[in-house]
Amino acid sequence: TVVTNLCVLQDYYNVDVSHIKTQYFYQLSKFISEIIEHPVPLTAPVIGQNAFAESFGIHVEGVLKDQKTYFIIPPALVGQKQSIVLGQTTGPEAVAEFLAENGYGFLEVDYTREQLQELTLEIQSYCIENKRISETETKLLVEHYFQKEPLQSKIVLDDFEIKATTNNFKVKISLIMDNGQRKQGEGEDSELISAIVNTLKNILGFESMTCE
């Protein structure tokens, strides 16, 4: 944070830090984190995944109008991106931004303000019940709302992680079930495919499962 602050205030401190490639800070922190097997806290300043995330309605509105309102350090300076996190305090502006970024259209062109308000309330209700909402869950909820049809009976991959050790593979998988519930599980084996199958068996409760 010292270096990034100097970058922002270098004229004030009369210090030249242009030789420091701050745009690689985020990727470097992730690389080191994987090597030492110690995750970076999500809210860690500058390098945390949520360091430049906003969810509170009035904050989101301010950030969308002018990034400097809440972020003194530009996210791009350290290789990060500004992100809008949907949650219990999400406002219509954040939902509209999500819809635009993910190809669902624009306010007053593809949907009305009344529809936006209804969808915002649905997202807030979902977050109150489930504590959080992933991007995949949000997309399913949006599609369900606009189609006005029951969610299709399908399982969606929410997150997937593989760690290779000397002797085996460790797999973590998160699935969104057809009822919207998130299920997570872990598995391991000396072969990658078997590790994935074992993980799915643990999540879905299958006693026997083969992969062809």
DSSP string, 165-197: -SS-EEEEEEEE-TTS-EEEEEEEESSHHHHHH
Give the pLDDT confidence of 47-74 residue by residue, as tens digits.
887 766 655 555 555 556 666 666 777 8
Rounded to whole angstroms, the Cα distance separating 64 from 66 reads 6
Instruction: Locate 206 and state its tokens.
Output: 């299958």
Q: What is the pLDDT of residues 19-43, one digit of tens each?
A: 888 888 888 888 888 888 888 887 7
Strand ranges for the chain from DSSP E: 53-54, 83-84, 156-164, 169-176, 182-189
Q: What is the number of residues in the chain?
A: 212
pLDDT of 9 higher than 80: no
Question: Looking at residues 146-166, what average pLDDT do you find?
Answer: 73
Determine the pLDDT at residue 129: 83
Residue 125 backbone phi and psi in degrees, to 5: -65, -40
Give residue-wise pLDDT tens across range 179-195.
Answer: 677 888 898 888 888 88
Query: 4-35 b/e with 16+ CB inside 10 Å = b?
Result: bebbeeeeeeeeeeeeeebeebbeebeeeeee
Pairing mode, if any, of strands 53-54 and 83-84?
Answer: parallel
CB 92 within 8 A of CB 100: no
What does the pLDDT read at residue 65?
A: 64
